[in-house]
Structure 1
Amino acid sequence: MSSFLSPQWLGSALLAGLLLAGCGHQPNQSPAEADLRRLEAPPAPPAPIAKPAPPPAPALMSALSRKISIPMPAPPVVTPPSTARYDSFDDRAWQRVSEVPVSTFSASVDTGSYANVRRFLNRGALPPRDAVRVEELVNYFGYDYATPPAGSPTPFTVDARLAASPWHAGRGLVRIAIKGQDLAKQSLPPANLVFLVDVSGSMAPQDRLPLVRSALHLLTHQLRAQDRVAIVSYASGTRVVLEATPGDSKDAIHAAIDTLNAGGGTHGEAGIRLAYAQARAGFITEGINRVLLATDGDLNIGVTNPSELKALVEGERQRGVSLTTLGVGDSNYNEALMKKLADVGDGSYHYLDTLQEAHKVLVNEMTSTLAVIAQDLKLQVEFNPAVVQEYRLIGYELNNLTREQFNDDKVDAGDIGAGHTVTALYEVIPVGAQGTVDPLRYGQPADAGAKATTAHANELGWLKLRYKPPGQADSRLVQVPIARGDRWPAWPALEQADADLRFAVAVAAWGQWLRGSTQIGDYGPAQIADLAHAARGADRYGHRAEFERLVALSAGLRR
């Protein structure tokens, strides 16, 4: 009914009435002639009786009187479902030393989880639980650990320190700190780099391909004359955008990067094969040979099975070409694949949420991103049952190794770049304190461990590391005791620990809080922010100050 009373309908009816009235009057016709015509015309049929129309609604009449049109409701906004993929895992459980005295895991220098968590928070949402990997949050930050002295037989230093746990009285934390030998950019071996760029339709948004182009421009500025760069793109098909070009031909490299435009499907497998072919063609003996893959990981053409792709990348790694992944995107982001490919490709995984992050990874940390100083780094801690009752490793859930794999040089593990730091934290419960796991009924007698370890009563544990010098097949062993301290069983106060240890503990606590862990009790953002603020230090790039802001954001988003 409202359509018959619209202003347009009323106007049309009024015009029609005026036209009809005008047609019924003949100006040259006398009244008599008009009467004669009416008498000669056949009688008209009776007019139908029309039902009176209901009066317009008051709101409508008011709108008509003001000549205001009534807007139609906007169509609902349909948000496509998220297809982002993350590896699912559970937090580590407590282990009784009398039953499982040895903890073994692979080192990791990946930092992608932190940047991805930051993206979620900056967009007003808490991250999914499986997007939070505590060790990647902790290792995102630089720490001022001691570097190896000149002539050191190992390319990294190892240090273990203790502090009281801030979330459980009577429990302690063990921080294991590793610092890789740093190299100046000028002293890096020549680099043979292949930029492999996803230019499929899903990469069109501003935070994907345009961000990747800007990131590659930043890296291009760092290249030297002895370096070589090739560019390969893939979408529905593949293309060599730039053949191997000297690093000082920057205009040509920049121009090639600018030709990258998004459109089409995602034939990632073919792109990876073509990129490795370019890397082999430009292979530099005793140089850096690396493919840098930039994508949202949304493969939909060719081989998409992660196991087959991993096998492809592993085969090329054995030929001396490594892989670094630079992830972008959100709703369709396949982080699980990006991390797997980087791990098996002897590279590192990074997530680029901003150009500042690209600058951090590709400029500030260029040497550690590209130059590997130690391959297949594994860590193993044996806890002393006379001193430690229970322990749990915080994070590294996706880096588990068996006790036997520690000595197996065929087992792949994490690589350490020049200047990289690796931080691992254990929470431990000393003997005599209230534990979390009931002892086994038929387990080892309570005093058997104490009798067996009397000679090492001052050791909390024994730390072993295995690594391979780059390009070598045989590993080397490093062993370090973890001293329990002179004041045992009292833990050193956390407030008296160095700033790097305190800040790492704050980050580890935040990661556990974001995951909804029950292991930290009521310890939350307020205490975390205070601990981090007191340990901020010089903060050259402002990363620690940003961390405090993110902690505050996450607290406001928790419901």
Structure 2
Amino acid sequence: MEGNTTVESGRPAAKIGVAAVSLAALLLASCASQKDGEQIVVTGSKAETDYAMADEAMMPPPPPPPPPPAMMAQSVAPSAVTRSYVPPVVVPGQDNRERYDGEEVSPVKMVQAEPVSTFSVDVDTGAYANTRRYLTQGQLPPRAAVRTEEMINYFRYDYPRPSDRSQPFSVTTDVAKTPWNDNTYLMRIGLRGYDIARSERPPANLVFLMDVSGSMNSPDKLPLVKTALAGLAGELSPQDRVSIVVYAGAAGLVLEPTNDPRKIRAALDSLEAGGSTAGGAGLKLAYQIAEDNFIKGGVNRVLLATDGDFNVGISDQDALVEMIEDKRDSGITLTTLGFGTGNYNEAMMEQIADHGNGNYAYIDSALEAKKVLGDEMASTLFTIAKDVKIQVEFNPAVISQYRLVGYENRALREEDFDNDKVDAGDIGAGHQVTAIYEVVPAGTKGWVSPRRYEDKPAAAATSKLAEAAHVKLRYKLPTGTTSKLIDYVVPRSALANAKAPRGDFAFATSVAAFAQLLRKDELMMGFTFDDIDRLAGSQTDYWRQEFLRLNDVARSMDTSRNGG
């Protein structure tokens, strides 16, 4: 929502760079450790100023005890209008209080009854990195932790660059035969945002909100956070500003706005972990700092780095969401960066990033820190299109059944598509979005048997037999309030000419299948991890090669799927 505000800062335009975080330094940091019981150390801070302590009214009560596994609540796909808190799934186990807001696998839809599918785009990638963390530790991830769309969108695909900025992203649609079901087809929709040259990037007002509570006292938490954020310091332009806010038992301002790399690194080096987690108070203070240093027409963003262990109850969760939405509407967005294990509250991290028009990423390693905070920071910070929604209407004369693979918690109501007051996902510079539908052609065997009393397709459908589906997209420019509409027709001939997925489509399909197997999707028709390996093919990209290794790990652990 950057730029949609009238607050003045009086600062001229500038440019911001993206850090190339030192891998050696990150690896060193990831091996660092903290002593038990250490408290916050603030050197050269302004802890005694008006910002030193946040409003005590934001201090939350302790959370209620987690429900036993037998009483885990089933989540319901939220409407963009309904923003009440949904109790997350709690993963049981010794010293494990991780929480996930999982959804059931998307159900099959009958085109005659529900021809329209509407959802908000998602560019988060946290579920993939978190799944990788589980697998590398020798465990299959909880089903609730796997979101298929985030798995697919972790990787880049060969979508064309936008031809010009009048439409900030290109749109690709293609169809292939489904590798796991001879009676269905896969329809892919791909978006690619335009890139922003370094010289064109707007000035940035960034507030690093860092959790320094006792739960962050682990080599894979605060040490990695400190070094990763320090990597950004050397890339600031003269008109960019970074502030640092910390929270534990209370919240405080450690570093006033500056672009001096030495001051930023010194402030980060001074931090140690200890105390409880006053997450709500820290977030409130971070927004206050961002407001005080607002850059009109620039990037104004809070970056929250934590294990997600906010000591807030369910009632306070709604209050936090309301505050985040209010700040989003004033032009301050929120990115969440998750770290660590054991008490990780992924349900909180993903939800508040969505409500803050930001991104959610999970940092499980030094390489991931470099990828998210270095290579991809431009797409994280610089929004090129906001409130991006996708709506697909299937022609019942051509398609009889369908299901959207993933995006369960991004579902919107049909009427939300044309309503510009309904919030949706944003696309950053260079971002990509991929969505895959599995569809059944009319007149062929599907998942659901034909209904005895079902009507034939209406004349409007049969008169357009050349069209299999109508794809519509709505988006707003970063400073706009009125959406723009673009649409495409997927021809029926795309199904008739479809072959097995190849190249990037094949790899995207393999990732989707991998996620669905981890979620125990019962419509995968006996597809195995061996099949995924063959479908993905040989790869030269590091991250894709790593995916193949993760698939091998999952295959070795899930004997029910690999025939072992």
Quickly name the TM-score band, shorter chain normalised: 0.7 to 0.9
Confirm or deny: 8 A CA contact 1:378 1:413 kept in the other structure.
Answer: yes
Structure 2 residue aligned with 1:182: 195
Change in 2 beyond 3 A, CA 1:361/1:304: farther
CA shift digits 1:160-199 (9 cap, x unpaired): 1000000001310000000011112332100100000000
CA distance in 1, matches of 2:301, 2:429: 15
Structure 1, unaligned runs of 5 or more: 1-78
Selected match of 1:91 from 99, 102, 105: 105
Is 2:102–2:146's contact at 8 Å kept on the other side of the alignment?
Answer: no
Deviation digits for residues 390-444 of structure 1 (CA, Å, limit 9, x no counterpart): 000000000010001111111111100000000000000001111222445544x
Question: Matched residues in 1 for 2:308 and 2:145: separation?
Answer: 15
Residue 478 of structure 2: aligned partner: 470
Within-5 A mapping of 1:226-375: 226-246=239-259, 249-300=260-311, 305-375=316-386
Give the letter for the 2:345 counterpart. Answer: N
Matched residues in 1 for 2:427 and 2:311: separation? 32
1:494 aligned to which of 483, 497, 500? 500
Pair 1:483 & 2:491 matched = yes
Distance 1:336 1:453, change over 3 A: same
TM-superposed deviation, 1:89: 1.3
Residue by residue over 1:23-63, the C-alpha shift from the partner in whole angstroms, topping out at 9 and shown as x without a partner, is xxxxxxxxxxxxxxxxxxxxxxxxxxxxxxxxxxxxxxxxx
Aligned residue for 1:305, secondary structure, equals helix
Q: Structure 1 CA distance, aligned partners of 2:119 and 2:186?
A: 18
Q: Post-superposition shift, 1:452? A: 1.9
State the Cα deviation string for residues 308-334 of structure 1 (Å, max 9, x = none): 111111111111100000011211111
After TM superposition, list the pairs within 5 Å mapping 1:71-220 onto structure 2. 80-150=94-164, 152-220=165-233
Q: TM-score, normalised by structure 1?
A: 0.81
Give the Cα–Cα distance (whole angstroms) in 1 for the partners of residues 235 and 522 of structure 2: 45
Instruction: Indicate how the Cα distance of structure 1 residues 194 and 304 shifts in structure 2: closer, same or farther if over 3 A, else same.
Output: farther
| Kept in 2: contact 1:184–1:367 (CA 8 A) | no
- RMSD of the alignment, in Å? 1.5
Cα offset, 1:81, TM superposition? 3.5
Q: Which residue of 2 aligns with 1:64?
A: none
How far did 1:527 drift? 1.1
Q: TM-score, structure 2 length as denominator?
A: 0.81
Aligned-partner residue type, residue 480 of structure 2: Q
Would you say the 8 A contact 2:513–2:532 is kept in 1? yes
Q: Distance in 2 between matches of 1:310 and 1:441?
A: 47
Amino acid in structure 2 at the alignment position of 1:373: I
Cα deviation, residue 93, structure 1: 1.1
Residue 212 of structure 1 deviates from its aligned partner by 0.6
Cα separation, 1, equivalents of 2:411 and 2:97: 27
Match of 1:54 in 2: none
- Mapped partners of 1:510, 1:442: distance in 2: 38
C-alpha displacement at 1:491, in angstroms?
5.0
Q: Give the Cα separation in 2 of the matches to 1:304 and 1:203.
A: 25
Count of residues in correspondence between the two structures: 467
Higher RCO structure (Cα 8 Å, ≥6 apart): 2
Rounded to whole Å, the distance in 1 between the matches of 2:189 and 2:161 is 14
Q: Is the 8 A contact 2:183 2:446 kept in 1?
A: no
- Alignment partners' CA distance in 1, 2:230 and 2:532: 37
Q: Whose radius of gyration is greater, 1 or 2?
A: 1
1:106-131 deviations in Å (ceiling 9; x for gaps): 10000000000000011111100000
Report the Cα distance in structure 2 between the residues aligned to 1:454 and 1:154, rounded to whole angstroms. Answer: 32
| Aligned-partner SS, 1:293 | strand
- 1:283 positional shift: 0.6
Unaligned stretches of 5+ residues in structure 2: 1-92, 560-564
Tell me, yes or no, if the aligned pair for 1:376 and 1:415 is still in contact at 8 Å.
yes
CA drift of 1:471 comes to 2.4
Write 1 or 2 for the structure with the bigger share of helix.
1
After TM superposition, the runs of 4+ consecutive aligned structure 1 residues lying more than 4 A away are 301-304, 439-442
Identity of aligned residues (%): 48
Structure-2 residue corresponding to 1:527: 531
Does residue 548 of structure 2 align to residue 548 of structure 1?
yes
- Work out whether 1:458 is the aligned partner of 2:466: yes
